[in-house]
Amino acid sequence: MAELGAGSLPLGDPAFNYQEHELNERLKRLYPAVNEEETPLPRSWSPKDKYSYIGLSQNNLRVHYKGHGKNHKDAASVRATHPIPAACGIYYFEVKIVSKGRDGYMGIGLSAQGVNMNRLPGWDKHSYGYHGDDGHSFCSSGTGQPYGPTFTTGDVIGCCVNLINNTCFYTKNGISLGVAFTDLPPNLYPTVGLQTPGEIVDANFGQQPFVFDIEDYMSEWRAKIHGMIARFPIGERLGEWQAVLQNMVSSYLVHHGYCATATAFARATETMIQEDQTSIKNRQRIQKLVLAGRVGEAIEATQQLYPGLLEHNPNLLFMLKCRQFVEMVNGTDSEVCCLTIRSPKSQDSYPGSPSLSPRHGASNTHLHSGGADSPTCSNGVTPTNKSKSHGGAGSSSVKYPSVSSSASSSTSSSPSSVNYSESNSSDSTKSQPHSANSTQETSDSEMEIEAEHYTNGVVEGSSARIMNGTYKHEEILQPDDNSIGNGVTDEGCSNGRQLCGGNQAATERMIQFGRELQALNEQLCREYGKNATHKKMLQDAFSLLAYSDPWNCPVGQQLDPTQRESLCSALNSAILESQNLPKQPPLMLALGQATECVQLMARVRSGSCSFARVDNFLH
């Protein structure tokens, strides 16, 4: 148990919590490369690693001497809670002399684990100190060397460890005193020692701003490291390196569906795109559906364009279905939003449930035709100027993975040759006169997936323009002014977010879907064995129904649109892998490898890793 003397703040005190927050933020800014789960930073003195003549207070930041102080045998020291991580690159702490006591025999410095604490820092092997009574530096020896001025009550002494060149220098009241020690060993602890009665010092490990401008010193070394990297010789293979980098950039653009940019880049660099534009756009449309919360349509499109993909990926299938349930709660999935925005006369009926079994084939020939008078949803949304009701469960012959959509079944055998932009357009071309050109291929600029996060926006059919079977990008992201909180327009809801948009038929469909999802989970358990991840995923999704306000509950983070991004990435990677294309772009693999190398540098105590972080070169 840590010693908490007079003046210590209790853990629950707001002032203590604020100080902890400030400390955490400052340490993250100073030492961004440090992973404190692996290598915690020193934050206070250790109540266990000290000599008995040392007393601690002020949350183990204040040190006072409580021995006899007759001679050097009464010296006492204390080490910090943790050694200095190499990933700091440059580490700094300060000590304020509250009182020099009787003689001011104080030492500030570093020591390794196991060094005798009945001594001042610097007197023994692997111990280093700067002493206040004579201004000498002590390097693993009882004999000191002239170094700097003496220090006394009111002075602030800083100790900076450079883990790049393994040196140490001190500061006094914000002024550097020059290098004191070289060739330092790794894993040293901040250490302070006292010897005479009345000596009191306070440590600052980042709890307060430092007197010395350590960040400016760090900037100098960061510039040095970056300069070394920039000057690293590539050799005479410059042309080959350029070609490799250009191909990496091109494949990255293709992977994420930036079709127009990829085409322009390929033209400018005279490189080849490994995937044809139609296939890129098909993947892009599927990603847009997932990011917009229309997961049911994304499943249908995937099954049409990439037969057998979900059938052979039961884990991905289950993730998609769980997300679809979450989006039903959100009111954004097609199965509920087409009920939510239907005219009041048609709200009592809803399409039959598609089977969730992964065993159904992909080339389903029982899909509804998408004629102009078809009562089913175009892309899961029925324009409000149509008041025809859906048939009951018996009237629908849709099987998994089609989710109550009017998409025409693709007959092409090659996924890359199918243009999904033309597969869902029949309803929209007749119901929306201003989209007369919707059968034409959507321009590249409209198909680009933006980096911004998608909102839960599904707009009312009478005002949403549909192009090539999908909402135009900017309109799917922004609900109308009359839309309710979760982006679903419903004439019966005046304000506030409601389950499934506040529609009873949609809620009933969601509950039915939940039962089918539970059945799918049981089927997968029988076929593949129990899966703890699936169980938790299902429990978290179903737990949303236990709260009157799912958006503000312990599991409400599932409804955040940003949660769609990881699923979108997983589906995109699976599609690429099924087409014998890299499931991750080489550029991302290279960045991942570089990041791992930097982390490895930290583990082998190479201090320069702190200023060679990949993030520094990406921003």
Q: Which helix (H) or strand (E) holds 315?
A: helix 314-330
440 compared with 48, residue with greater pLDDT: 48
577 contact partners, CB below 8 Å, separation of at least 6: 583
Pick from 481, 516, 486, 479: which is nearest to 502 by CA?
Answer: 486
358 compared with 512, residue with greater pLDDT: 512
Average pLDDT, the chain: 75
pLDDT at 12: 57
pLDDT at 8: 53
Using CA atoms, how far residue 44 sits from 40, 58, 77, 199, in Å, is 11, 10, 14, 18
Write the pLDDT tens digit of every residue in 252-282: 888 888 888 888 998 898 888 878 788 888 9
Which regions of 419-518 does DSSP assign to beta strands (E)? Answer: 466-467, 470-471
Write the pLDDT tens digit of every residue in 136-151: 999 999 999 999 999 9
Mean pLDDT across 102-111:
95
Q: Is 50 exceeded by the pLDDT of residue 215?
A: yes
476 Cα distance to chain centroid? 25
Write the pLDDT tens digit of every residue in 31-62: 988 889 989 999 999 999 999 999 999 999 99
Pick from 202, 217, 189: which is nearest to 39 by CA?
Answer: 189
pLDDT at 239: 63
In the chain, the amino acid numbered 184 is: L
pLDDT at 138: 97
Cα separation, 13 vs 15, whole angstroms: 5
Cα separation, 537 vs 533, whole angstroms: 6
Q: Is 80 exceeded by the pLDDT of residue 609?
A: no
Q: Is 70 exceeded by the pLDDT of residue 178?
A: yes
The C-alpha R_g of the chain, in whole angstroms, comes to 33
pLDDT at 141: 92
Mean pLDDT across 369-395:
35
Cα separation, 90 vs 107, whole angstroms: 21
Both structure tokens of 249 = 């950039």
pLDDT category, 483, cuts 50, 70, 90? Answer: very low
Mean pLDDT across 216-223:
91
Winning range, highest mean pLDDT, from 34-38, 114-118, 406-410, 458-462:
114-118
Mean pLDDT across 16-41:
89
What CA dihedral angle connects 94, 98, 101 and 106, to 10 degrees? 0
Mean pLDDT across 591-597:
82
Provide the edge-to-edge strand list for the sheet that holds 127-131: 45-50, 76-80, 188-194, 107-112, 127-131, 136-139, 145-146
Cα separation, 253 vs 387, whole angstroms: 43
Q: What is the pairing mode between strands 107-112 and 62-65?
A: unpaired
Q: Is 80 exceeded by the pLDDT of residue 547?
A: yes
pLDDT at 613: 72
| Cis preceding-peptide flag for 10 (omega within 30 of 0) | no
Cα separation, 206 vs 30, whole angstroms: 9
Cα separation, 159 vs 90, whole angstroms: 11
